[in-house]
A = this chain, B = another copy of it.
Amino acid sequence: MNYPGGIKHNNISKTSQSTNYANRGMNLEEELNITNKYYRDLDKAIIYKKPTPIKVAKANFISRQNVKITEAYFEMPSTTDYNGIYNGKYIDFEAKETTSSTSFPLSNIHKHQLTHLKKVFDHGGISFIIVRFTHLNETYLLFEKELDSFINSNKRKSIPIEYFKEKGYIIKDKFNPRVDYLEIIDNIGGIDNEKRN
């Protein structure tokens, strides 16, 4: 269900908004947006989702304030979807859902996004992925270091859920904030950007 730019069908055509996840009204992206707003409202962190890159081909300039785009296309994002600052540290991550209950297909993340996450880590930032297994209703945070380690030591094209359980951190389902990923970073000390065990 991945369209270019990570846009999902229900982000565009509101009438066709049917959710795949029983008992859930929101997808991961929507929950992360609410979570990030919660963090900002509390002044805990300043983290935003980047806009989806769109290449404008044709537009009508009705006025300076009123421009109607009549032809445009989704572009591949240069980086990850989310970044910002927390506790003085640069934070950068990608978030994905999978309908698989056994593994996360690496094809869901572009290669240049993986490279980007690694570069952020190398530059001293905190980088990770958040993966939701929608049918299990389980959401995991996996730091870039463990992600990189998996990719370098495996030929598999998907990360088994056991790896997330072992090397990643489950993000507990909460009411507010919905996806409290910063709790994971708080609990492990925040700046080591790696699994401590």
Contacts and interface: CB of A to CB of B under 8 A. Distances in A.
B69 A72 contact: yes
Contacts of A54: 51-52, 54, 56, 69, 72
Contacts of A92: 85
Main SS of the interface on chain A?
A: mixed
A85 B46 contact: no
Copies of this protein chain in the complex: 2
A59 B70 CA distance: 10
A89 interface: yes
Contacts of A51: 50-54, 75, 77
Contacts of A65: 3-4
Nearest to A74: B67
Contacts of A61: 3, 9
8 contacts: A48-B79, A51-B52, A67-B73, A68-B72, A69-B69, A84-B90, A85-B123, A88-B90
A74 B79 contact: no
A174 interface: no
A168 interface: no
Interface residues on chain A, size class:
35 or more
A105 interface: no
Contact of A72 (B72, B75, B89, B90): B72
A1 to B, nearest CB: 8
A61 B8 CA distance: 11
